[in-house]
Amino acid sequence: MSTYTVVNPATERAETEVELAGIEQTDAAIEQAHKAFPAWRRLAPGDRATLLRRFASVIDQHIDELAELEVRNAGHTWGNATWEAGNVRDVLNYYAGAPERLVGKQIPVDGGTNVTFHEPLGVVGIIVPWNFPMPILGWGMAPALAAGNTVVLKPAELTPLTAVRIGELALEAGIPEGVLSVLPGKGSVVGQRFVAHPYVRKVSFTGSTEVGKQIMAGCSEQVKRCTLELGGKSANIVFADADLAKAAASAPYAVFDNAGQDCCARSRILVQRSAYDEFLSLLEPAVKGVRVLDPSDRSSEMGPLISAHQRDVVRGFIDEVEVAYTGSMPAGDGFWVAPTVVLAESTEQRIWREEVFGPVVAVLPFDDEADAIAMANDTEYGLSGSIYTRDLGRAMRVSRGVDTGNLSVNSHAAVRYWTPFGGFKHSGLGRELGPEAPYAFTEEKNVFISDD
């Protein structure tokens, strides 16, 4: 069996070794999940709910331990990592309400009644990226389990530690053996097996658009269900009538959170030309005020990038352009890139069109509302976005005009577990979170009952 050396991104030092699953181990886990499925789906809804709540409670007792693992493994700030562990708990609690609410319909028809049921699919494979190891694990796992499926889950090779621990905590909480299996391993091995193995009836994938397309093509071979949460190049649109101080103060957090390794990063700022100079003068102190510190420091707001490779990818983008200014970053070891602002010259530049997945933002002016919508939509992606204006009608018009799945008005916060999340265009397929999520892990069955 091969192993992977987990490296702390803030120190560049090796933390621990993790065994990687191969094909045989993956197949064994899928078969075990297949065997565990009938009993898990038959469990009384109230009992399944109780187990999920117990799982949430065990997570709650380990928030600090999980957060500490994430700080060391992914370089997430302490504040983010504690929020992320709490998010797994909250998502489990939220979907613990689902087993008792998976209601169907009764439809009057000639000579009887039709009733519908939501049947679980079987084994669900969840493939998680390295940028948000805990939340994305929870967003797939919790509704899939609540709907009565069993789960095999692959964390990213770079960030397996919290997922492995959460798998152990599931057993501690009484989730039966085989209902949730965590398989650290390579995407090309374990992830690919989820796509190819006939017992896996749905793949829930979060990651790059490139790999997402391969997953979708692979799933088509078996008409396998898939949900794809992919990349983004989202716009933060600031109108001249906005509270410019508020818009400038929040813009850095819309793009530099998690060091910009965020599919929702608003990495393009569009500013109405008449407010461009004033906005830029407010943005600079806000960017320079972001506290880029060792992620274990409780006051750190931004940590390092995940790996030397990712740092080099981000530097490659920066080297192509003229940087207007940067924020700060620690000296010494660690995969650091300072928050970076680029005043773009054209919408054809790579920095304006491609996902950087690092702490780099590009700014361009626009003239009017139609121009703003056209520029925001001039991308293959459509995941997130923000709009700053005091005009409610304009906020509504622009919200409807921008082709993206998740927007915020006069705020940069976009993701909540009780509201739907997902992308337009190349940003994805299907929705996660919100009250509908468990239904996405079921098939609707329609039964006619004759009243003869």
Helix (H) / strand (E) containing 25: helix 23-42
DSSP of 388-448? E-S-HHHHHHHHHHS--S--EESS-----TTS-B--SGGGEES-BSSTTGGGGGEEEEEEE
Min separation Cβ 230 and ligand TAP, Å: 5
Q: Considering only residues 157, 257, 294, 301, which one is a binding residue for ligand TAP as defined by CB under 6 A?
A: 157
Site map 76..115 versus ligand TAP, x via CB under 6 A: ----------------------------------------
Q: Which stretch binds ligand TAP (CB under 6 A): 106-114, 149-157, 243-251, 278-286?
A: 149-157
Binder to ligand TAP among 156, 179, 321, 338 (CB under 6 A)? 156
Work out which of 229, 257, 294, 301 binds ligand TAP, going by CB under 6 A: 229
Q: Find, among 70, 210, 211, the residue nearest to 127 by Cα.
A: 211
CB-nearer residue toward ligand TAP: 200 or 373: 200
Cβ atoms within 10 Å of 312's Cβ, excluding its own: 12
Size of the site for ligand TAP (CB under 6 A): 29
* Two tokens, residue 256: 């530099």
Show contacts with ligand TAP in window 323-382 (CB under 6 A).
Answer: 355, 357
Least distance (Å) between residue 10 CB and ligand TAP: 19
Taking Cα atoms as reference points, which of 366, 348, 345, 433 lies closest to residue 140? 433
DSSP code, position 302: B
Q: Is 7 an interacting residue with respect to ligand TAP (CB under 6 A)?
A: no
CB of 393 to ligand TAP, least distance (A): 30
Kindly state whether residue 266 participates in binding ligand TAP, applying the rule CB under 6 A: no
Instruction: Cite the active site residues.
Output: 229, 263
3-state secondary structure (DSSP) of residue 345: coil
Residue number with the smallest Cβ distance to ligand TAP: 187
Rounded to whole angstroms, how far apart are CA atoms 7 and 431? 33
- Give the pairing type, strands 268-272 and 200-206: unpaired
Distance CA 311, CA 292 (A): 15
CB contact at 8 A, 190 and 203: no
Take residue 108 and report the two structure tokens written for it.
């009057």
Near ligand TAP by CB under 6 A, which window of 227-235, 282-290, 316-324, 434-442? Answer: 227-235
Q: Does 127 bind ligand TAP (CB under 6 A)?
A: yes
> Phi/psi at 264 (nearest 5 deg)?
-90, 5
CB of 331 to ligand TAP, least distance (A): 27
User: By C-beta, is 178 or 212 nearer to ligand TAP?
Assistant: 212
Residues found near ligand TAP in the complex (CB under 6 A): 127-132, 154, 156-157, 186-188, 191-192, 206-208, 211, 214-215, 229-232, 263, 355, 357, 383, 428
